[in-house]
A and B are shown apart, each in its own frame.
Chain A
Amino acid sequence: MLEAVIPVAAISILFLGLPWLILHYVTKWKQASTLTMEDENLLDDLHDIARRLDDRMNTIDRIIAADRDQPARITELRPDLRPPELRLDTRTTELRSQALRKEI
């Protein structure tokens, strides 16, 4: 009984299980990384723009610091100084971006 089962099992694993496993992961891998040529160019552009804007922001930060005769401040750590009626505005944008994030 066992002698008859082992070759059948071995052959079915070798010729059905293994190709299935490989093809399964190949299809998964192909689905996972699908950046088309246009996506690539777009990402390249966005990355470039982000970096240029970042440089400009640094320049503007320095200009403003020099203008106000103060050392450049770390903008990230500053508390929100706006009056409440202005703060409401950003909260709605935050909510909107959170909704966008959920969509993504």
Chain B
Amino acid sequence: MARRTGFYLDKRNGKVMGVCAGIADYTGFDVLWIRVGMVFATILGFPFPLIAYLVIGWAADAKPGTLYASEDADPEDRQFWQKTRAAPGRTIREVRSSFRDIDRRLRDIELQYTSPQHKLAREIDDLRSN
């Protein structure tokens, strides 16, 4: 299985080498802003951003097809991993809080079915139907 927190070139959505699309995919920013920023950076700081672009485009791996497949199956997955790359601790806490939420909801359901009111209501229903 390919690493989910690594940086990859996004060849599928890329225009030239997929570096800007890869950065957008990695960080979750809109790809348009990154491309515009890249062009302005190239104009202002010629030629270093261009060199950096070419080096990244040459050195980084293209995104594996398995990751594309899993993201196509589940778009929410992509956002989740973007958040994880930015702050792993926060997403772990979010997963924990969702488990807590499920626990609380289950407790409430258990409560509804074990509370004295529920038993009483059921007995009354039974009497009515008889």
Residues on A facing B (Cβ under 8 Å)? 33, 35, 37, 39-41, 43-44, 46-47, 50-51, 53-54, 57, 60-61, 64, 75-76, 78, 81-83, 90, 97
Contacts and interface: CB of A to CB of B under 8 A. Distances in A.
Secondary structure of the A contact surface, majority rule: helix
A64 B109 CA distance: 9
Size bracket of the B interface: 20 to 34
Given A33-B88, A57-B105, A40 B98 contact: no
Contacts of A90: 107
Given A40-B3, A43-B84, A47-B80, A64 B91 contact: no
Contacts, number: 56
Given A43-B88, A46-B99, A57-B102, 20 more contacts: A37-B3, A40-B5, A41-B1, A43-B91, A47-B91, A50-B98, A50-B99, A54-B98, A54-B101, A54-B102, A57-B106, A61-B105, A61-B109, A75-B109, A76-B104, A78-B108, A81-B111, A82-B115, A90-B107, A97-B100
A30 B52 CA distance: 21
B118 to A, nearest CB: 9
B13 interface: no
A97 B115 CA distance: 25
10 contacts: A33-B5, A37-B3, A41-B1, A43-B95, A46-B99, A50-B99, A76-B104, A81-B115, A82-B115, A83-B116
A51 B107 CA distance: 18
A74 to B, nearest CB: 10
A91 B17 CA distance: 56
